[in-house]
Structures are given as structure tokens and as C-alpha cells.
Amino acid sequence: DDSGYLFKAFRLFHLLLLYHDPQLALHMQDNDFPPELYSLSWFLTLYSRSLPMSQVLRLWDMLIAIDDPAFTFFIGLCLLRKLRLPILSSDTDSLPEILTNLSFHGEEDIDFIVTDAIALYKLTPRCFIRYLRLCCVSTFELTPNPQYTIKSNNNDNNNALTDIHDRNMAIQSARLTVTLTPQELISSLLPIVSNIDLQDSISVDKSLEYSIQQFVLIDIRSIDTNDSSGSGIIPRAITIDPEFLDHPDVLDKWIQHFDSTRGCNICLIDLPPSQASNVSLWRRLILGEGDGYSNKSNLVSYGHSIKSLTNSTNQGLRDLDSKFLKEEEHAMNEDLLRPSVKLAKALQRSNFPNVCILDGGYPALIQQLIALRGDTEPLVINHNNELFEKFLISTGREIYSINNIAKKLNKTKVNNNNNISNISNIKKIKDMNEIEKYEIAYMTAKKLGHETIATILLDKLLTSKQKK
């Protein structure tokens, strides 16, 4: 059903506008004017509804020459930016009149907008452009460069590939901001790493040839957590404690000092919330199965999240028949808890463009570094795989564990102390004895500052050791 792709196209267009011009995107969102109210004809008629045939042919000739279906989104983006000042000075009552008259005015105007669109296209993460393209062509196999097309002689494999990419696109459409894949971030930091995820998005049109973007990294993880979990640090990243996000006055001052980076590409890296659900706080602490947060109270319920996004026009309409509705709901709930999303929203409210979050957060970065390079350095230093694996498992983040990558690859990489020496030695909670459980629970309680429960756990740990 193509209508499902259309719903997702509206959401992705909002995220694209939010990425390049957050002030304009938030102004239209605050005035309850989502993309489906003004961009429907753009996507259905390729901007031909109100243009004379000569201008339609000129625009379409350019789109054919550029040879990337995703580029149509950037035409709409630049059309909006052309009337940026009138839109920002308007209110809910006057916005419809301004946007109704939004169109091209002559062939020179088309040339100007296409030139502006090319510039923004080059500045957009390749992974996000792939999602835009997928909305247009409904298949991942159609890429600008045929030599990078993913094909298989097995139709079932082709369908499985399409489902995977459809799923990722659906999840991105449900998120609150643009995400950057770990592969693309690593390629920007270490350009010598070959990455087909970047190559398959390079257009055959040399004017759109992609130059690798550089990112200002912001690490939103507690320093105490980094030390106790063995996760390591990112030397080139700016560090901000997630607790600052709960103090608006402190955060505002930090953003003021951060103003010199306005206009740079910014990637926010955090520790995603625990995936454990409906487990009591102290049971998770005592058994080492949680991170101190009660998902039952913090996570938005399935029905509420879907209803709120369906009925709220500033978020846009949702495709309630989506094949990946549960995955979209999970992504929305996760974003409500992620520190990176909270900081991204604060930066965007302060009119910082080009803000994205790392898909999967810090654990995904570690996964990809080891999978691609067999090592975390020099991007991440002081990383202890065994301790970090235990931390992920004990805090309900097992989904991000290296175990998952090892199972997929059916092998273990062995290089040095920063690599995985023996994944089979990393136990799950159910395989741990009583002393090991209390040790992890005690470490978790100390990390979270729960001194009372930490004291109780320490007593239990000592008692267990004495019995043994």
C-alpha cells in the first residue's frame, strides 16, 4: 500500500526540515501545520500542479539528470526556505495563505532552488538519504550507482533485504530527530575505512558527489558510569553529564558557551535506556538485571503513544496499518527516555541546525568498531570489553551486547586487550551464581548512588562469601 510510504514521507520530510532549519520546522510544528497539510501535491505530482508545462519540463529534466529520487525532498525543503521570513512572522491563521502560494516563479527560480537543494543534499547524512529514497521507490535495490545495488538470485533473500531496510526506514520515520548510523560516523572519523553504506548513496551526477562530513561529538554519559562499567571514553568528544539535562538554567548556560559550534554537524552519543520491562526496581538491582529505572512508570504505553501521535497534528498522521507498527512504537518510547534526544531538542529550540543522534548510542559504536576494525582505538580508549559486557547485561541492555554480533558472525575477533578474548566467558544473569549476582548488583547500586541498597547488598555479598 503506497499510502503507508506517503505517511512516512511526511514524517521524514519534517525530520529533514528539522535537521537543516530547526527554527522553521518548530515554528510550523508549534502552529499545528505538519507537512501533510502543504506537501501532498509535491510528492504526488512532482511539483507540477501549479506550474506551466515549460517549467515542469525544466524541473523534471534536472531531477532526471540528478538521478536520485530522494532529491525531490530537497526541492520541497528549499521551497519552504525561500519564504522562510514570511513563514516565521506568520501565525496559525496566516500560514495557510502563505503556503498555498508556495511555488516556483520562473525558470531562474527553479535553477536557484535546485542549486540550493544540491548544497543541502551534500550536507545530509547518507543513511538518512537512503530512507528518503526508500519512500520514493519502495525498494532498496534502486540506487544511483548500479554497481552498488544489492541483489540476490534468491527472491526470498531479496524480500528479506527489502523488509530489513523498510523496517529501518519505518523506525527512523517514528523517531524525534535524525539518526546517524555508527558505520557512517566511523567512516567520517576514519575515512580509510571502506563503507558501502556511503558508496551506495553517491549519485552518478558528479555535482552531487559526496564529501565525507566531519562531526562535533557530544558524549552524554556519566563519567562515573564510564569508569565503573569499563566502557571507555571518546577522546575527541565534548562530555556533558546527563544530569545537567534536568536543570534548564545550567543547560541554557552550557548551550550559550557551545554557540561557537553553531552550523557544524553535531552528533550526540548516549547510553540507550534499559530494554528490560515491568521488572521491579529492587529485584533488578539485587539480581543485577536493571539500571535503576522503572520502565513501567517511565515508558509510555503502546496505546497512549500511538494515540498521541495519531491525534496530534503537529506530529503528523501515523500509518496505523504499518507492517512495523510495534517497532515504530518502541522507537518512539525509547526516544522519550534518551538523553541524546532531550539534548537534541534543546539545541534545536536554540536554532542549532545539523543535529543528529547516534543510532543505537555508544554500545552500537563499540559493536561497529570491533566488527569493522577488530579494535576500538583510537576512537575509543580505556575500553574493557569484558567489564562493559557485564555492565550491559546487568543493566538490561543485553540487546546491545557484543554477544549479538558474535552470534551473527559466528566468530570471535582476537587481537589485543581492547578486543574480545572469549565471549563465551561472559555470563548471563541466569548462569551466574549467587556471589556473582550480588557483586554486579552491588556495583550497579553504587554506580546509581543508591547507598542504602548498596550497603544491604554488600552485607549479603559478604555473607554469601562466608557461607561458601
Q: Per-residue pLDDT tens for 386-432?
A: 888 888 887 777 666 665 544 544 443 333 344 333 333 444 445 57
**Residue 310: pLDDT over 70:** no
Q: Which three cell numbers stand for residue 218?
A: 557530544
Lowest mean pLDDT among 207-216, 289-298, 360-369, 380-389: 289-298
Q: What distance in Å separates the CA atoms of residue 36 and residue 31, rounded to the nearest whole number? A: 14
Do residues 271 and 239 make contact, with C-beta atoms less than 8 angstroms apart? no
Mean pLDDT of 329-337: 88
- Identify the residue with better confidence: 317 or 37: 37
Task: Identify the top-confidence range among 217-221, 282-286, 453-457.
Answer: 217-221
- Identify the residue with better confidence: 394 or 260: 260
Lowest mean pLDDT among 1-5, 239-243, 381-385: 1-5
Mean pLDDT of 45-55: 86
Per DSSP, what are the bridge partners of residue 233?
Answer: 381
Query: Which amino acid, residue 254?
Result: W
Cβ neighbours of residue 84 under 8 Å, at least 6 residues apart? 21, 24
Q: Which three cell numbers stand for residue 89?
A: 512572522
Lowest mean pLDDT among 244-253, 313-322, 366-375, 440-449: 313-322
Q: Tell me, what's the pLDDT at 467?
A: 80
Q: What distance in Å separates the CA atoms of residue 251 and residue 286, rounded to the nearest whole number? A: 34
Q: Tell me, what's the pLDDT at 197?
A: 42
Task: Identify the top-confidence range among 35-39, 186-190, 198-202.
Answer: 35-39
- Identify the residue with better confidence: 205 or 217: 217
**Residue 334: pLDDT over 60:** yes
Mean pLDDT of 4-8: 83
Cβ neighbours of residue 295 under 8 Å, at least 6 residues apart? 273, 274, 276, 277, 278, 279
| pLDDT above 70: percentage of residues in the chain | 70
Q: What distance in Å separates the CA atoms of residue 226 and residue 337, rounded to the nearest whole number? A: 19
Q: Tell me, what's the pLDDT at 450?
A: 66
**Residue 304: pLDDT over 60:** no
DSSP letter at 300 equals P
Q: What's this model's pTM, rounded to 2 decimal places?
A: 0.75
Mean pLDDT of 197-214: 50
Q: Tell me, what's the pLDDT at 16?
A: 97
**Residue 318: pLDDT over 70:** no
- Identify the residue with better confidence: 101 or 236: 236
Q: What distance in Å separates the CA atoms of residue 144 and residue 126, rounded to the nearest whole number? A: 12
Q: Tell me, what's the pLDDT at 291?
A: 41
Q: What distance in Å separates the CA atoms of residue 225 and residue 444, rounded to the nearest whole number? A: 9
Mean pLDDT of 111-140: 88
Cα-trace Rg, the chain: 24
Smallest CA-to-CA distance from 63 within 83, 49, 48 is with 48
For residue 115, the tally of other CB atoms under 10 A from its CB is 12
Band the pLDDT of 61: cuts 50, 70, 90: very high
Q: Tell me, what's the pLDDT at 400?
A: 67
Band the pLDDT of 458: cuts 50, 70, 90: confident
What dihedral angle (degrees, nearest 10) is formed by the CA atoms of 434, 436, 438, 443? -170
Q: Tell me, what's the pLDDT at 187?
A: 86
Mean pLDDT of 8-20: 95
Smallest CA-to-CA distance from 202 within 136, 150, 148, 141 is with 148
